[in-house]
Structure 1
Amino acid sequence: MEKEIAPIMTEHWEKAEFPFHAIPKLATLGLAGGTTKGYGCPGLSLTASAISAAEVARVDASCSAIILMHAALVIPAIDLCGSEAQKQKYLPSLAQFKTIGCWALTEPDYGSDASSLRTAATKVPGGWHLDGQKRWIGNSTIADMLIILARNADTNQLNGFIVKKGAPGLKATKIENKIGLRMVQNGDVVLNKVFVPDEDRLPGINSFQDINKVFAMSRIMVAWQPIGISMGVFDMCHRYLKERKQFGAPLAAFQLNQEKLVRMLGDIQAMVLVGWRLCKLYESGKMTSGHSSLGKAWTSKKAREIVSLGRELLGGNGILADFLVAKAFCDLEPIFTYEGTYDINSLVTGREITGVASFKPAMLVKSRL
């Protein structure tokens, strides 16, 4: 990452273009298959996969995001919810980055309330017709395959479908003018009677609870992204303060700067321990949705504080993407939001520790009663 990605990431970040020529080299890291065993996947422990994701994010958050779309969403969805034939057909090429996939759940009107999505799946002879819209779908404009989550018109339950690039009725348009994760190609997806054959429906997705099986792992992985970003910011600030001089002394010699570095380091150590604990809870079968939601919410909030301190420490250079910190400052914002906003993840944990769900405003609940 430091040799191949660090020298080129600022240019591509500014242009909002992903360095696709680097994908074969990213593939050699062996991280795309994540924890999946067999089918050309590495079968890493969740702990190893999470730490690796953090090390990638330490250099560049966009690269970690594209890997996680494969390792923590697309591949686990097929591995956990797909048929044996689907696993053999799709997993090997995804694990080697020979094909790129994306996960399409969020819609223009349904973000945090994703379980209320409207994209419809209607049964037709030999398959299904998908109609609807998706938004904020990473890699959608360049993906070879899309996993579309849609509502079954007959059962009203959520189902999963594998849609191929170029399918008639499928259109993906890049979302412009993002301030964070600019190298990731997020898009609006429109589906107009897109036909999906029966063999490309994921048989293991029949409810939002089934989707949560995938999220259980991905939320942990996303919790490690802010950890990696924070480590990268600390590295940059530590080096910068020792090299740059003001008033005849290195910036590292000033007490206020040392205090900020120590605060950053202490928070990073705590974040690593929270991430580590999440992995061990998952691997022992004891992790709950409250655990993963708390971890993701807390690490992303702490990372926000850390990169803010880093921007202060670099002064004017702190607003230049050349020095990593400004880019990290921006890249953290979408991570703070996706896989559950800080508020929603807090409410998931709050529901678990109190036994009371508070997702809908009290006035709305009262009116329905």
Structure 2
Amino acid sequence: MTSPATPSPSALPHVDLLRLRDGLDEAERARLEAIEEHLQTQVRPRLAPYWDAEEFPFDLLPGLAGLGLGRLLTDGSSALFQHLVHAEIARVDLSLSALVGIHNELNLGMIVQLGSDEQKARWQGPLERFEAIGAFCLTEPEHGSDIAGGLETTATREGDEWVIRGAKRWIGAGTIAQVALVWARDTADGEIKGFVVPTDTPGYEATKIAGKMGLRIMQNADITLDVRLPLDAQLPGAATFDATRDLLRDSRMWVGWQGVGVQMGLLDVLRAYALERRQFGRPLAKFQMIQSQIAEVAGNLAAASGMMMQVHRLNEAGTMDMMHAAMGKATSTRLARSSAALARDAFGGNGLLSEYEVSRMMGDIEAIYSYEGSYGINALIVGRALTGVSAFV
């Protein structure tokens, strides 16, 4: 339950600093506003207990499904609409944003773009309706940034079966998913291939990673695999790791929009708190230091928004490459980190309490700063593109 002392940012009008919504047609703008209304009134007020308890709010899934958030990738909506939806969800909670984003960009996206007709017939509909949740199983206990070269999970063909053995770590929704997309190295040719693994398959074991400082609602997991699958479990379009690069690039861009969205949320709670909290007989908003912090958060948000909007335009023109996605993700999450520090400082001691949201956002930002390529790895991608020299090893 939310404390009565908690500010009510949803009561303030939304600030679209750079008028990003002007790029949508009337129908998509209306749909985005309906999604925003549901998230602000039906989701945001109910999240604190789940974050504190590190539990997933299954009761919120039907509402998200009713808004079509399980099928953003396949509903024919514009790319800008999808980006702004991801930002709106991140504005409310980064765990739910991660779930919806990974679900669409990687799980549903992989099956629709790289799967067989049979795989799509079985999984596409349930995924689109959130009747099934997907887990994208790539990162391993000993391999994160170096996963493409270091991946150790193996896939061995034995007669009319694939035998997959290995371990995965930090897998979002790993304990609650119905289907896992597992990446394993074929022992015959050394190529990394994708496999569709129902999570009720004997030998699939998932253990929740507890005690996280961020993304506490997202059920990250350690996965162990010793499974036997039919030959048609392989994703036919993912016979090599190269097949996934465009999807992973686009996913990196999506995290940049998460950085935009969470800064929208920070500005929400900071403005509300500054207007409602009184010290020395007047609202915090009357103090020059607080107004300076609000203005700096707004500037960071505008900078991240403008950058991601241009990355979006490059993507629409077919000229975005990994450097642009990496720069967008790294810079947006870096600015979000800075904005969170400013906002938490303005809250004083109350900024330490999860009921005031800013502390939850601050912890969650640490996660998006590190996943989909850490800040350092993304910086090296940019540096390599600008100098022609790789500094990875």
- Same fold by TM (over 0.5)? yes
1:138 shift after superposition: 0.7
Letter of the structure 1 residue corresponding to residue 119 of structure 2: Q
Q: Given that residues 50 and 220 in structure 1 are in contact (C-alpha distance below 8 angstroms), is that contact kept between their aligned partners in structure 2? A: no
1:343 alignment partner in structure 2: 376
The structure 1 segments of at least 4 consecutive aligned residues displaced by more than 6 Å after TM superposition are none
Q: Given that residues 80 and 214 in structure 1 are in contact (C-alpha distance below 8 angstroms), is that contact kept between their aligned partners in structure 2? A: no
Task: Give the secondary-structure state (helix, strand or coil) at the position aligned to 1:123.
Answer: strand
Select the residue among 138, 143, 146 that pairs with 2:177. 143
Task: Give the secondary-structure state (helix, strand or coil) at the position aligned to 1:309.
Answer: helix
Letter of the structure 2 residue corresponding to residue 29 of structure 1: L
2:72 alignment partner in structure 1: 34
Task: Give the secondary-structure state (helix, strand or coil) at the position aligned to 2:368.
Answer: helix
Task: Give the secondary-structure state (helix, strand or coil) at the position aligned to 1:221.
Answer: helix
Letter of the structure 1 residue corresponding to residue 109 of structure 2: P
Select the residue among 40, 43, 62 that pairs with 1:2. 40
Task: Say how many residue pairs are matched.
Answer: 354
Letter of the structure 1 residue corresponding to residue 221 of structure 2: G
Matched, 1:310 2:339: no
Letter of the structure 1 residue corresponding to residue 374 of structure 2: T
Cα deviations by residue, 1:329-359 (Å, 9 ceiling, x for unpaired): 0011111000000000011111111111110
Question: C-alpha distance in 2, partners of 1:208/1:341?
Answer: 20
Question: C-alpha distance in 1, partners of 2:219/2:181?
Answer: 16
1:43 shift after superposition: 2.3
1:73 alignment partner in structure 2: 106
1:207 shift after superposition: 2.4
Select the residue among 269, 279, 290 that pairs with 1:246. 279
Letter of the structure 2 residue corresponding to residue 144 of structure 1: Q
Q: Which runs of 5+ in 2 are unaligned?
A: 1-38
Matched, 1:117 2:156: no
Normalised TM-score (structure 2)? 0.88
1:168 alignment partner in structure 2: 202
Task: Give the secondary-structure state (helix, strand or coil) at the position aligned to 1:111.
Answer: coil
The alignment-based identity, stated in percent, is 39
The CA RMSD measured in Å over matched residues stands at: 1.0
Question: C-alpha distance in 1, partners of 2:161/2:127?
Answer: 24
1:258 alignment partner in structure 2: 291
Select the residue among 126, 130, 140 that pairs with 1:107. 140
1:151 shift after superposition: 0.3
2:95 alignment partner in structure 1: 62
Task: Give the secondary-structure state (helix, strand or coil) at the position aligned to 2:47.
Answer: helix
1:119 shift after superposition: 0.2
Matched, 1:352 2:385: yes
2:189 alignment partner in structure 1: 155
Normalised TM-score (structure 1)? 0.94
Q: Given that residues 47 and 280 in structure 1 are in contact (C-alpha distance below 8 angstroms), is that contact kept between their aligned partners in structure 2? A: no
Task: Give the secondary-structure state (helix, strand or coil) at the position aligned to 2:171.
Answer: strand
Q: Which runs of 5+ in 1 are unaligned?
A: 37-41, 361-369
Matched, 1:21 2:21: no
Letter of the structure 1 residue corresponding to residue 43 of structure 2: I
Question: C-alpha distance in 2, partners of 1:217/1:333?
Answer: 21
Question: C-alpha distance in 2, partners of 1:196/1:223?
Answer: 36
Question: C-alpha distance in 2, partners of 1:48/1:278?
Answer: 14
2:321 alignment partner in structure 1: 288
Question: C-alpha distance in 1, partners of 2:297/2:209?
Answer: 33
